[in-house]
């Protein structure tokens, strides 16, 4: 096959190379289009735009395949842990025993937050939302490590290993502090002897005279939740991180921006939106059928369904869906929301509207039910997503920062405003 594509504009033809990825994904390389033709491409929502070449994550949305650095998400979910997968995503290879030990030790020894940051927490409104706190505090964190957040690429890369471990560790402390602040409880210090997710649960739920006891294996369920969220290609928040990083901004600022992008209900905020939707359906006495009809009529959106890339079952949703029953069983909890979720899923998977549009459950559909069972408040669900996604953001920041050929991300637009007008003085308007 000819490895080029030809575009005809008027009576002129322009030829562009085709780029092929390692999984045979093809793209027409239009980087010279505007310079050669004066035209730009228009692709609102970027559904057809490859914004970068990346070796981190591969998704085949038609087949429901997700691989991090070549390893399938099913393989990682079964055999790996969140921290090992984080290492894989950030450094490209599974760690040796020594490498993993060093990585974990750097993470566990970095969990404490500078006490001056506590006063920043004190200054926040009592109504501050956990995602707003998280984003602000990640940026504030950079102020405590100016050598790692210099906005000088070479220097930021020199300190990258420390900055990455520090962020993965402290994001968990900040998240727990955000929760304790919201409910008006004193902060709980991290413990070096606990595993990653265990330590988080300890900082969330321990009391001075009553340490949190994980009787139902919640830490394992949480670890799996975090692993499943660790990276997901060029989604809205990761693209945001890359966009910010492309200007030369440091890792702390870039991931803080990622948190903001994740917050919205069409992205990471969907896990909270799903539970709110299920609660509303439950409160109205519906078993899900009425809601499905409303979604089909465009009066409601079935949160946790549909995906820009997956036109098949999201493989992460499959894993979480299988885990949710086990977790609730271990906890001895029966949640009526789970029954409604099962009803909605069954109804949607058999309904022509959803079949035609290839709308399947995504990762957020069942994950909120696990988090709710673990005692995590709904407001914190998207924060949990952010903790999980951090390694992906870090790896993407590194990929762009280490690429000496990378250019600032600066899309163009089609201007639709007024043509040149003359200024009218205030008195004449
Ligand atoms: N419920 C009902 N109809 C839907 C839904 C839904 N959840 N999602 C898409 N549709 C319909 C949509 O109305 C459109 O119908 P029509 O062709 O008649 O106009 C069609 O399906 C195509 O949808 P789209 O809006 O063009 O899809 P998109 O790729 O722009 O949006 C999405 C993807 C995930 C934002 C969207 O499916 C959605 O809003 N889902 C609910 C929110 C959600 O669960 N988000 C989490 C995504 S997974 C986690 C993550 O990685 O962020």
Structure tokens at 235: 């989604």
Do 194 and 95 belong to one domain? yes
Q: Which residues contact 378 (CB under 8 A, 6 or more apart)?
A: 272, 275, 276, 368, 372
Q: What is the pLDDT of residues 209-233, one digit of tens each?
A: 889 998 888 999 999 999 999 999 9
Provide the 3-class DSSP secondary structure of residue 232. coil
| Residue-wise pLDDT tens digits, 144-192 | 999 999 999 999 999 999 999 999 999 999 999 999 988 889 999 999 9
**pTM to 2 decimals?**
0.95
- Is 229 among the residues known to form the active site? no
Least confident of 267-271, 275-279, 372-376, 398-402: 372-376
**Which residue CA neighbors atom 24 of ligand 1 most closely?**
308
Give the pLDDT confidence score for residue 332 in this predicted structure: 85
Q: Give the mean model confidence (pLDDT) for residues 264-281.
A: 95
Same-domain check for residues 311 and 367:
yes
Residues 255, 304, single domain; the answer is no
- What is the tally of structural domains in the chain? 3
Q: Are residues 179 and 232 in the same domain?
A: yes
Out of 314, 364, 379, 409, which one is annotated catalytic? 364
Report the pLDDT averaged over residues 354-372: 92
Give pLDDT, residue 334. Answer: 84
Tell me, yes or no, whether 124 and 226 share the same domain.
yes
Say yes or no to pLDDT of 420 above 90. yes
Q: Is the pLDDT of residue 253 over 80?
A: yes
CATH code, domain carrying 42: 2.20.28
Burial of 329 (0-12, 13-18, 19+ CB in 10 A): exposed
Whether 304 maps to a domain, the answer reads yes
For residues 129 and 379, is the Cβ–Cβ distance under 8 A? Answer: yes
Cα-to-centroid distance, 46 and ligand 1 (Å):
15
Phi/psi for 127 (5° steps) reads -95, 5
Residues with CB under 6 A from ligand 1: 232, 235, 266-268, 270, 295, 301-308, 357, 359, 362-364
DSSP annotation of 17 reads: E
Write the CATH number for 168: 1.10.580.10
Catalytic residue (one of 307, 335, 339, 379): 307
Q: Is 63 domain-assigned?
A: no
Is residue 138 domain-shared with residue 199, that is, in the same domain? yes
Confidence (pLDDT) at 1: 66
The answer on pLDDT for 373 being more than 90 is no
Which atom from ligand 1 is nearest to the alpha carbon of 237?
52
259 and 388, same structural domain?
yes
Confirm whether 153 is domain-assigned: yes
Co-location of 254 and 367 in the same domain: no
Kindly indicate the confidence band of residue 31, based on its pLDDT and cuts at 50, 70 and 90. very high
Rounded CA-CA distance 95/92 in Å is 9
Give nearest CA residue, ligand 1 atom 13.
298
339 and 279 assigned to the same domain: yes
What's the whole-number average pLDDT of the chain?
A: 95
Pocket-testing residue among 59, 264, 306, 313, ligand 1, by greatest number of atoms within 8 A of Cβ: 306
Nearest 5°: the CA angle 138, 143, 144 is 95
Q: What DSSP string describes 42-102?
A: --GGGTT------SSEEEETTTTEEEETTEEHHHHHHH--HHHHHHHHHHSSPPPHHHHHH
Compute the distance from residue 307 Cα to the ligand 1 centre, in Å. 6
pLDDT, tens digit, for every residue of 289-348?
899 999 999 999 999 999 999 999 999 999 999 898 888 888 888 889 989 999 999 999
Least confident of 125-134, 252-261, 303-312, 327-336: 327-336
Residue 114 sits in the same domain as residue 250: yes
Q: Which of 356, 373, 390 is the last residue of a domain?
A: 373
Q: Which residues pair with 207 in a beta bridge?
A: 210
Beta carbons of 138 and 171 less than 8 angstroms apart: yes
Please say if the pLDDT value at position 83 is more than 70: yes
The CATH number of whichever domain residue 276 belongs to comes to 1.10.230.10
pLDDT of residue 411: 96
Q: Say yes or no to pLDDT of 424 above 90.
A: yes
Contact between 168 and 147 (Cβ < 8 Å): no
Instruction: Give the pLDDT of residue 401.
Output: 97
Digit-coded pLDDT (tens) for 297-306:
999 999 999 9
Residue 24 lies in a domain: yes
**Domain match, 277 and 212 both:** no
| Residue 67 covered by a domain | no
Closest C-alpha residue for ligand 1 atom 9: 306
Whether 359 and 285 share a structural domain: yes
Has residue 162 been placed in a domain? yes
Range of the domain at 299: 270-373
Is 426 part of a structural domain of the chain? no
- Residue 418 in any domain: the answer is no
């Amino acid at each position: 096959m000819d490895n080029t594509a030809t575009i005809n504009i008027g009576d002129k033809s322009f030829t562009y190379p085709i780029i092929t990825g390692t999984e045979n994904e093809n793209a027409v390389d239009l980087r010279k289009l505007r310079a050669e033709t004066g035209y730009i491409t228009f692709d609102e929502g970027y559904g057809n735009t490859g914004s970068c070449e990346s070796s981190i994550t591969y998704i085949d949305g038609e087949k429901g395949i997700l691989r991090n650095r070549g390893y399938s998400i099913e393989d990682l979910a079964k055999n790996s842990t969140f921290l090992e997968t984080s290492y894989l995503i950030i450094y490209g290879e599974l760690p040796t025993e020594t490498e993993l030990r060093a990585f974990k030790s750097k993470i566990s020894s970095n969990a404490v937050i500078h006490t001056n940051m506590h006063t920043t927490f004190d200054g926040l409104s009592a109504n501050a939302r956990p995602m707003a706190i998280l984003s602000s505090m990640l940026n504030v964190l950079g102020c405590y490590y100016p050598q790692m957040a210099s906005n000088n690429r070479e220097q930021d890369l020199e300190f990258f290993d420390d900055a990455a471990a520090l962020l993965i560790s402290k994001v968990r402390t900040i998240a727990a502090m955000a929760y304790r602040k919201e409910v008006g409880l004193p902060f709980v210090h991290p413990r070096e002897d606990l595993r990653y997710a265990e330590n988080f649960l300890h900082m969330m739920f321990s009391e001075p005279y009553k340490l949190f006891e994980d009787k139902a294996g919640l830490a394992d369920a949480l670890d799996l939740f975090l692993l499943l969220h660790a990276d997901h290609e060029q989604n809205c928040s990761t693209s945001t991180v890359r966009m910010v990083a492309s200007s030369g901004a440091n890792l702390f600022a870039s991931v803080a921006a990622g948190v903001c992008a994740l917050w919205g209900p069409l992205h990471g905020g969907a896990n909270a939106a799903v539970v709110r939707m299920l609660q509303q359906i439950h409160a109205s006495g519906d078993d899900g059928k009425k809601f499905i009809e409303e979604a089909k009529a465009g009066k409601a959106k079935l949160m946790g369904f549909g995906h820009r890339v997956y036109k098949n079952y999201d493989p992460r949703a499959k894993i979480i869906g299988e885990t949710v029953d086990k977790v609730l069983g271990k906890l001895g909890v029966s949640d009526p929301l789970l029954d409604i979720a099962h009803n909605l899923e069954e109804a949607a998977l058999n309904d022509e509207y959803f079949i035609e549009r290839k709308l399947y459950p995504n990762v957020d559909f069942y994950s909120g039910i696990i988090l709710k069972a673990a005692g995590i408040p709904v407001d914190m669900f998207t924060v949990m997503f952010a903790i999980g996604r951090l390694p992906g953001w870090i790896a993407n920041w590194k990929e762009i920062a280490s690429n000496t050929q990378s250019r600032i991300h600066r899309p163009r637009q089609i201007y639709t405003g007024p043509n040149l007008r003359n200024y009218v003085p205030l008195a004449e308007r």
